Amino acid sequence: METVGAHLKKEREAKNISLREISRLTKISELYLDYIEKDDFEKLPQGPYIKGYISSYSRLIGGDVDKALTLYDSLYSKRNQNRFPGREN
């Protein structure tokens, strides 16, 4: 299954947009955008920030925001299940 980071990176590269340009236009740190593309969400501010960053990134590159957030939710759910085996989310 494709991750949100891989999805966004693929969309960005297909449109030949640099992370620097996305950072400049969204005011999101280039480092944070790199963490998103690497699915390294532990290094980002927690709470609603992550979904806001993903939405802004996806919207800027003309992507499907709902698909990006669904991919993130799927990844987040799997990580929680691995952290707490036997627990339904």
Q: Where are the alpha helices (DSSP H) in 1-89?
A: 4-14, 19-26, 30-37, 48-60, 65-83
Radius of gyration (Cα) for the chain, nearest Å?
13
Q: Is residue 87 part of a domain?
A: no
* Count of all residues that appear for the chain in the document: 89
Per-residue pLDDT band at 18 (split at 50, 70, 90): very high
Q: Under DSSP, is residue 38 helix (H, G, I), strand (E, B) or coil?
A: coil
> How wide is the angle at C-alpha 32 spanned by C-alphas 46 and 49, nearest 5°?
30
Q: Is residue 24 part of a domain?
A: yes
Residue 45 to residues 15, 42, 76, Cα–Cα distance (Å): 27, 8, 15
Write out the residue range of the structural domain in which residue 34 sits. Answer: 4-79
Give the pLDDT of residue 89. 43
What CATH number corresponds to the domain at position 27?
A: 1.10.260.40
Q: Is residue 11 part of a domain?
A: yes
Q: Which of 1 and 80 is assigned the larger pLDDT?
A: 1
Q: What whole-number distance in Å separates Cα of residue 14 and Cα of residue 78? A: 28
For residue 15 the two structure tokens come to 């449109």
Q: Is residue 14 part of a domain?
A: yes
Q: Is residue 89 part of a domain?
A: no
Give the pLDDT of residue 1. 79
Number of domains composing the chain: 1
For the stretch 32-89, pLDDT in tens is 999 999 999 999 998 899 999 999 999 999 999 999 999 999 887 766 555 545 544 4
